[in-house]
Chain A
Amino acid sequence: MPTIRPLTCLGVVLWLLGSAVARAEIRAVFEADRDPEIHVPAPIQAHTKQVKPLWMQALARPESDLQRMAADAFGRAHRAGVPDLQEAIPLLITILSSPTTHPASRLAAAQALVQFRAEEAAQKLAESASQYGADLRQIIEPALASWGYEPLRAVWQARLTAKDVHSRDLILAIRCLAMIGDESQAAGLLDIVHDRFRPVAVRTEAARAAGLVRNEGLEADARRLTEGAGLPSLVNRLCAARLLVGHSGADARNLLVSLAADAEPAVATIALARLFEIAPDRALPLVPGALESADPEVREQGVQIYGKSPDPQRVSAIVKMLDDRHPAVRGSAREILAVLAQRPELDEPVRDGATAMLASDRWRGLEQAALLLAALDHKPAAPRLVELLEFARPEVNTAAAWGLKTLALPETLPALLDKARRQNELQRAAGADSAGLDEQTAHLFEAFGKMKHADAEPLLLEYVPKDFKIGEQSRRSAIWALGRLHEGVPDEPLAQKLAERLLDRGGSGENSRAESVRIKHVSVIAIARMGAVSQASKLRGYFRPEIPPTRLGMSIRWALMELTGESIPEPDAALLPDAGLWFLEPIVDD
């Protein structure tokens, strides 16, 4: 399907942000979803203020279950944005520190204090962590590290060399030292990294920490890990790559180049990512191999590196990746090509490459090329896109329909209408269950609306009556297109039919099911678009006494303002009820 998973890769997003022209991701969206933009206030979770005194009382009780639940509730509520709960902190500290506290209550109190970021409790937290067991340390120590709590630094440092330290405590110390950026402990961390008798997870954790605290000088250690007779172990190579994640010197670059060619993708990805940041030119020779890798992460790295230092030849290589097996890789290639096309010297290679891909029969490449060329407003692609309307794979024929809608060339309308009519017959005969049938039809309908193709109106009108057998998206797009066709010119019978869609709340027998809210939404928009003032009262009467802050409510508000010119204040955001959310709640009189 042409809908690409959002945020295919953080790297691509960052890359795009850093590019000269920031642009939105190419997605085969429906106009009915975004035209017009309707702002719906996000609902707000209601929190009655009366819970706080109740929880305070519960926290002060001797019963351990009340203490546990109250501490837990305070922490969660604070995290959920309930204001002014800090009053509980002194009691939470008392529960944390009391030797008679039940372990479960102590854990809950510690967790709540961490969520409050109660730095005034840091000392008590540190004492409790040392007195009351490993479970508590797992909660407390990372928090203290993130707060930069200095007194524990020595404890963490001591653990690196202690003989009988428990592995989990050691890992905790390693992480905390990395969080506080304690460069002085790099040597201790490196000793652990090189100690082949340590558990592998401890070594890799130490390598990660060492790489974070030291940005230089670890090249010799990385080399030591990767040298020796035979192939070094995966753990050694992984540690070496992690040691160098912050390095940028010449020696480090050489090592990273070596690691980037590692047969193990998990190692190569780390090295390629660092090279991409500091010296993409050094990674360039590796890219051909990376693009052939079996691992999608490595291939995507290769695409990004080529995108960072593009030339026509590399553009050609990226174009090939439009047909990659992995949707994230081909999505990255498409987005990068769209940005590269902004450069005058690369515009033609991008278009030529994509056009060549569009001429192929590889469905993945066809889908991406259709999206890309349409996004680039590449009108010569239209004839091929018309051909691709008949392509068997729904991903391709839907992308072609979206592309033709985006290009909006009147000369393609007869072909589009012909296809839409055949799609209509298919939907009527067999329903809209076939993959892509509903979506493709919807894009075609929206193309008619966008280009105001009056010949399509009879077909579009067939989609107004309630019919759950045909695709809902097709109906939405048809109604949206009708609104566009009649923009500013009211068609009263049509407006009447659309108002009926709004008012349809179901009936009896076959008509028992109410009209879809999404159809109601576009019907309201279409009424407003055509300026059918006669229907304003029906719209106004739909929600009484007040328009709710829902999507349909906000659509009606927009429509009424369009139809009457009046200004209707935006309703307050909906309040989500809080009853039943917490273990202890006030009784509210009805």
Chain B
Amino acid sequence: MTNSPRRPSSPRSSATLAIALILLLPAWGSPAEKAPTPQIGYSALQPGKGQPSIYVSGKWGLLNLEVTNPLDVPQQFLSATYFDGQPTLQFGRRLWLPARSRLWTSQPVLLPDLPGEGSDRWNFHSLVFNTSGAEEVATRDVQGQMLRSGTLPARLEAPITALIDGRDERHPDAERDSPYQLVLGARVGLQFGPSLASIPGDRFMPDQVHFSVDDASWKSLQQLVVADNCVLDDPAGLAAIRRWVYGGGRLWVMLDRVDPRILERILGDELLCDVVDRVGLTSIRIEPTSPESGSPPVESEYEQPVDLVRVVVSGVDVPFRINGWPAAFWKTYGSGRVLVTTLAPRGWMRARTVADPELPRAILSLPGAGEARRFVPLPPMAAMSKEFFPQTVAPAAYSRILEPRVGEYIGYSIPPRWLIMGLLGGFIAAVTGLETWLLGRRTFRSLDWLSSALAVCVALALLVVGVRNRHAIPMTAAAVDFVEAIPGSDDVRSEGALALYNPEASPSVIETTGGGRLIPELTGLEGTTKRIVWQGLDTWKWENLSLGAGERRGTQAKIELLPERYEARGTFGPEGVLGQFSASGVVHPGDALIATRLGRIGVELEPDGAFRAPAGNVFGQDQYIAAGLLSDEQNRRRIIYSQVLPEFFREDSTGRPVFFLWGERRSGGFEFEKERILLGASLIAVPLEIDRPPEGTIVRIPDLFLPFRNTRQPDGSPSSPLWDHRRQEWMESTRQATAWFRFQLPTQLLPLELTGARIVITVSGPVGRVEVSALRRGDDKQGGAEGSRGEVVSVKTWNAPVGTLSAAEITDSRLLQLDGEGGLVLGLAAGEPVSAGANGVPALQGSRISAWRIENLSLEVSGTITP
């Protein structure tokens, strides 16, 4: 970012300046040169104070400012900044400075589209007004210019990765053990550019970070690597990182470099990890924990030891181990993921040799390529990099889902068709009748003025109808938002759609002290200057915004810290799930359900926050509300559920059950005109924490709490690919297929003795025959997840089944033995053997083989909690 106050203006920018001045100056109502202008220093900087400057089209970024007050008294300023080509949408900042002082601060700006193809920067212009006195006075820079201009460089390459690393030059292995080298090497290994945003910057406060708490300004960043403790001094920054991760960011914490408290503060209750000790290794064997880890074992020898932090941790995915200890682990958090490496960077990479393939020319030609090509990630790191540096996935757009529904709350409608048609039809009939009548009287001269008079009457009638209609609805703001409690923290994230209705055009009030964004649709308002002006953290207001008469849609999003955490805790009992929820401030909670990726169950709420979800309340495929006859509101909620839930579980792959409930529209902290009526509803999602019931409790566990995936058949052969666990989809088949599935019981309930199971299967197509089998295990129950030794026992067989089959019940507890990790294994054989032709090729029946598919497999189990 550079300031260029003296650069020659292009004709276009001169025109823009003229427009801006014309539009801006009347807004403050005072001539620019009225008072002796103070020599206020104002410039945009790069980098800012400990905050990365990342600018991407269509996203919010931070404009870092240095403002100087040379006067002997405190001063207040207002800056208004706009970009070339968009002079009427401005981003303001109100500032206060003590006497004779210099302040470094920042303000959010929404970057427009780049000016043209091949362009890699935006030109911006700022006007700075001294607002200390009764009048606002435009200030000039030292060259006497009122307009202060500069450029912001665009980050064109994706994904964008930032690294927090205090480079320790005193460290003997500072270079060879550098997080910078590792991250760079991992990036270019995936053909991404050799560019990192380094934090903290070198220019100011070199050991300090001050992250913005403006969540919208984080969305440009895809990955953040933490390799230095300086972030620990910025607790608000750590909270901002947590929110960013939950919203889809990828965070990599190098635990060999940083204090484990960083992880604790970011992930809160969601990650419980205890550092046992730290050891320097000279021989390292990085072993994958499963074939899905994506890399073979790698052995390396080192003269200088490589640090490994030994940790005990639960609830994470460990892809690689060293001597039995996690070398790295993944934690899924909302839509984001956290990678924690416990092995120092040097253990994950090696120096590039001549035998290594050279980087593509496109990368070698970029700045930083020389540094990036020095080291090569070892296969385990290369495998993890593929997950850490993903292609950009569009985040869930809840506001778009909710937008069609929000207008229904306004109640505003255009005049009914019959009325318009009646008036117009009446007009035509009247004119025709008049013409006929005059034709009979042969006095056509009167037709002109009589027709005109009739037309005026009809137009007046339409006008009256329109005005009455518009004024029948008061000034209204309706919002429907989706609110997610961020697990392990006191934060909630909300995103929604908004509809503002104005009977008449008037200046609109939209402001907040709680952060977030509320952006009304601005189409059609290009001719008027409006600005969003910040004054402190999360405090902003729209100024000079007039939305006109009628309805105007918009979007809102924010993350807020709640004084009392939204929580839902439940446990299992003889009837199903029962528990307690707490969501203070939610008015008229209702239409609740608990959902997982597998299904939903209706929840009955009590006024004191208690709830129960009997196993009989499990919803069918298209059911979302536990009511026979739905009201308009419930129907709206049903539609929203059906659209939001798939999107939610597309992003949240933790498998954790989630408690959903509806309430009246929450106060999101956005303020409007006092007379504006607020309507709408909020859908709230709270992670359901499962508690262990007391010993001896009889429990009934509905199918949605029993995720399953393919496992090997008892004879060791792989199962037929009937079920795609990742996509949660059944696959079509034309052949006889046998698959065994491992159903995972909630670990909180273990140890558990199962006493019964009920299996319901739905099929489509000519499947021919379906058989369910179970495993009668021996005494060895420590077989782990794959420990499936035992005798195969047929439970039930259906011949030529159609649709939903009669339930299969298992009551023999010997068939319900769990493995060491709480898994129940069941087998499913389906389809008829395809008869072979003479040459061994399956004989075709007619022209094609008919396909069949398992449409649904539902397992419900019951049992007793054991000591």
Contacts and interface: CB of A to CB of B under 8 A. Distances in A.
Interface of A: 5, 53-54, 57-58, 61-66, 68-69, 72, 76, 102-105, 107-108, 110-111, 131-135, 138-139, 163-164, 166-168, 171, 197, 199-202, 204-205, 234-235, 238, 264-266, 269, 294-297, 325-328, 580-587
B538 interface: yes
A584 B264 contact: no
Contacts of B172: 5
B277 A266 contact: yes
Contacts of A164: 567, 569
Given A64-B537, A103-B239, A205-B274, A168 B269 contact: yes
Contacts, number: 175
Contacts of B205: 580-582
B544 interface: no
Contacts of B536: 62-66, 102
A131 B213 CA distance: 21
Interface string B85-108: 000000000001010111111000
A134 B233 contact: no
Contacts of A201: 272-274, 312-314
B269 A167 contact: yes
B535 interface: yes
Contact of B303 (A68, A110, A266, A327): A327
B488 A104 contact: no
A266 B101 contact: no
Given A68-B537, A199-B272, A328 B103 contact: no
A201 B273 CA distance: 5
Nearest to B242: A135
A323 B318 CA distance: 35
Contacts of B281: 296
A171 B270 CA distance: 13
15 contacts: A5-B172, A64-B539, A66-B536, A108-B235, A110-B235, A135-B238, A138-B261, A168-B264, A168-B268, A199-B315, A204-B274, A235-B312, A327-B305, A583-B49, A583-B103
A297 B279 contact: yes
Interface in B97-134: 98, 100-105
A114 to B, nearest CB: 10
B310 interface: yes
B129 to A, nearest CB: 17
B280 interface: yes
B516 to A, nearest CB: 13
Contact of B233 (A111, A265, A581): A111
Given A65-B536, A201-B313, 6 more contacts: A135-B490, A163-B691, A234-B312, A326-B280, A584-B103, A587-B100
A325 B282 contact: yes
Given A63-B536, A583-B103, A296 B98 contact: no
Given A103-B561, A583-B49, A586-B101, A296 B312 contact: no
B203 interface: yes
Contacts of A586: 100-102
B717 interface: no
A373 B125 CA distance: 73
A197 B101 CA distance: 58
Nearest to B747: A197
B96 A63 contact: yes
B101 A585 contact: yes
Q: Is the interface of B mostly helix, strand, loop or mixed?
A: mixed
B350 interface: no
B38 interface: no
B164 to A, nearest CB: 17
Contact of A66 (B96, B272, B325): B96
Contacts of B355: none
B70 interface: yes
Contacts of A54: 98, 101
B276 A266 contact: yes
Contacts of A171: 264, 272
Contact of A166 (B98, B269, B282, B748): B269
B210 A69 contact: yes
Given A68-B236, A166-B269, A296-B305, A587 B279 contact: no
Given A76-B208, A200-B313, A266-B276, A168 B233 contact: no
A238 B268 contact: no
A133 to B, nearest CB: 4
Interface string B546-569: 000000000000000111010101
Contacts of B561: 103, 132-133, 135
Quick one: which of B274, B315, B489 has the most chain A CB within 10 A?
A: B274
B272 A133 contact: no
A4 to B, nearest CB: 11
Contacts of A163: 691
A411 B816 CA distance: 86
B655 to A, nearest CB: 17
B563 A131 contact: yes
Contacts of A587: 68-70, 100-102
Contacts of B314: 199-201
B272 to A, nearest CB: 4
B353 interface: no
Contacts of A53: 98
B74 interface: yes
A76 B233 CA distance: 8
Given A202-B272, A296-B281, A104 B537 contact: yes
| Nearest 3 interchain pairs by C-beta | A104-B236, A201-B272, A63-B536
Given A294-B323, A586-B101, A65 B537 contact: yes
Contacts of A269: 277
A129 to B, nearest CB: 12
A350 B728 CA distance: 69
Contacts of B276: 204, 238, 266
Contacts of A167: 269, 272
A490 to B, nearest CB: 38
A103 B558 CA distance: 14
A134 B485 CA distance: 14
Contacts of B264: 138, 168, 171
Quick one: which of B100, B213, B261, B276 has the most chain A CB within 10 A?
A: B276
A62 B95 CA distance: 11
B374 interface: no
A234 B314 CA distance: 13
A535 to B, nearest CB: 34
B265 interface: yes
A200 B747 CA distance: 14
B692 interface: yes
Contacts of B49: 583
Interface in B505-542: 535-539
A234 B304 CA distance: 29
A75 B74 CA distance: 24
B283 interface: yes
A164 B274 CA distance: 21
A107 B239 contact: yes
A218 B279 CA distance: 28
B274 A200 contact: yes
B233 A64 contact: no
Contact of A583 (B104, B268, B279): B104
A105 B305 contact: no
B235 A107 contact: yes
A260 B226 CA distance: 36
Nearest to B172: A5
Nearest to A111: B235
B274 A325 contact: no
B204 interface: yes
A57 B593 CA distance: 51
Interface in B161-189: 172
Quick one: which of A132, A204, A266, A295 has the most chain B CB within 10 A?
A: A266
B563 A133 contact: yes
A138 B314 CA distance: 21
A575 to B, nearest CB: 17
Quick one: which of B70, B323, B750 has the most chain A CB within 10 A?
A: B323
